[in-house]
Amino acid sequence: MTFSDPESPLPPGEFHAPETSGAPEFYLSPQNLSNATVPEDIRTSWGWPELGLFLLVGIFSFFVIYVIASIYLVARYHLSLEKLQGFVSTSAAFAVSFEVAWSVVLLAFLILMIRVYHGQHFWISIGWRKLQFQGRRVRAVILMCIIGGGLLALMVGILSPLVETNVHVPMEDLFQTRANVLWLMAYGILFAPFWEETMFRGFIYPVLSRQWGVRGGILATGLLFGAMHAAQLWGGWGQIVLLTFVGIVLTWVRARTGTVAASFLVHFTYNSILFGFFFIGTQGLHRLTPLH
């Protein structure tokens, strides 16, 4: 089954419970999963209610973690509110630690909801399935994903200078020191692809694609991906558009292959190559300049 034919019925999967009435089309409970005329990889038991709850938990946990971290920094280093704001906006160590802590809380919530409340295997349900594409061997699919990530990074690298402006964006404040960039590289390569693919392409994409179709889900998920990064690039509208395009491509890969593992590999390769270009271009991070 390919993403280009989302409306074709599928043979019954592992769920064989009788059909129940009253559930909206975009919400597939375990009782009616076997009757769903949607691609198997987006047949999940969660829907808009869980998506809304995830948003609320995300907002609440963001402020709780931020307040706890701020109190710790003020008490530990005796910072004034003004110095605290300056430290938070220029310390990659803080930014990365905060993002990781926040992501772990949200990941724990997803695991609790899917495994305990819905009683399903978390990693399979969230989309981390075996790499496969049109009967090709796993090694061939891995190679395709790596090449795809490289081509995507090359395309963005070529287009970036064409859309850059002299507007200062918040992200530039974190690229002023070698230590900061090393923190960002570690996060961008080792953690961000895993978490962002699990959240966007694993948890969010199935709900959106059941509501608006696979193509609509791809577009909507890509737009959300770009919107999430917009605060870091505020003012750099060309960069935000490029990042939204990247989000659409990653979601297309997820839809085309039916597994988050494929979009993760593309994302991982993309980030690794971009940071590699930056490392080489700054002579091992010894010649850092403002990112305009």
| Average confidence score pLDDT of the chain | 86
Task: Decide if 24 is inside a domain.
Answer: no
Q: How does pLDDT run across 232-270, given as a tens digit for each residue?
A: 888 889 999 999 999 999 999 999 999 999 999 999 999
Q: Is 16 exposed, middle or buried (0-12, 13-18, 19+ CB in 10 A)?
A: exposed
Task: Decide if 46 is inside a domain.
Answer: yes
DSSP-assigned letters across all residues of 56-67: HHHHHHHHHHHH
Q: How far apart are CA 105 and CA 42, in angstroms?
A: 24
Task: Decide if 6 is inside a domain.
Answer: no
- Has residue 5 got a pLDDT over 70? no
Q: How does pLDDT run across 79-135, given as a tens digit for each residue?
A: 888 888 888 889 999 999 999 999 999 999 999 999 998 899 999 999 999 998 888
Task: Decide if 13 is inside a domain.
Answer: no
How many structural domains comprise the chain?
1
Task: Decide if 71 is inside a domain.
Answer: yes
The residue segments making up the domain with residue 158 are 33-281
Q: How does pLDDT run across 12-29, given as a tens digit for each residue?
A: 444 333 333 333 344 444
Q: What is the pLDDT of residue 289?
A: 65
Residues in the chain: 292
Tell me the pTM: 0.85
Percentage of residues in the chain having pLDDT higher than 70: 86
Q: What is the pLDDT of residue 12?
A: 41
